[in-house]
Structure 1
Amino acid sequence: MQQRRIIFGALFIFTIAGLAYFSHACELDQTQHGCRIDNGQCTCAFGCKSEFRYGTRKECQDALKGRSSDVCSRAPCMNGGHCSQVSTVQQYKCRCEGTGYWGQRCQRLCPKPEHVAAGTLYPPECVII
């Protein structure tokens, strides 16, 4: 019986974390093709406007050459988090998936699922699939 509760609890936490993760998607009218700096390289793709600072690969490459600043060069992400420069202003996002940490800068240690209080969301970055 105890094992069923643990399995059910873990499944519940996984479901809530998945819903929280996918709720961060953007609306269709907020998408564009753009580029961003990911760990010292330009990555171009289609996605949310807020995820892509540069409109073209050339703008992104100019930023890498120092013609504009790369906020990720300061290495703001901790514990192996992956920095991406986003938005049209000097902002970044740390991607913490797979590091065992979560938070704005991957600074918070992931909790063990059995230690998450009832009614508390489990950080989606901590879900291991």
Structure 2
Amino acid sequence: MAWSGRRAMLLTTTLLLAAALSESCDPGDLVQGCRVEGPNYCVCGLGCRTSFSYATREQCLTASRGERGDPCSSQPCRHHSYCTQIIADPGYQCFCDGTGYYGRHCELSE
């Protein structure tokens, strides 16, 4: 039996949802977007806001070509915090949750 039509759509949707949920983010943080996976390569779909930070494939491809570069590659976030790319300047945001630090770069002790 071939997978086509509604069955294929259901399987694809189920797999995308399972992948998104495996990133363990709150349901309110799930977005449809894109993320850079390498030079000139983006993955688009449903995922956590922190990972899928580009709203369109065009924005993601611009970043993947190095026109904006990966602002997290310089490791601006300190104390084992999490860096994610965002569209607004400076192009990244540090998530300090659970580190005991706060501030733009998670540099200030609580």
Q: TM-score, normalised by structure 1?
A: 0.41
Greater share of residues in helix: 1
Who wins on radius of gyration, i.e. which is larger? 1
- Bigger RCO of structures 1 and 2 (CA < 8 A, at least 6 apart): 1
| TM-score normalised to structure 2 length | 0.47
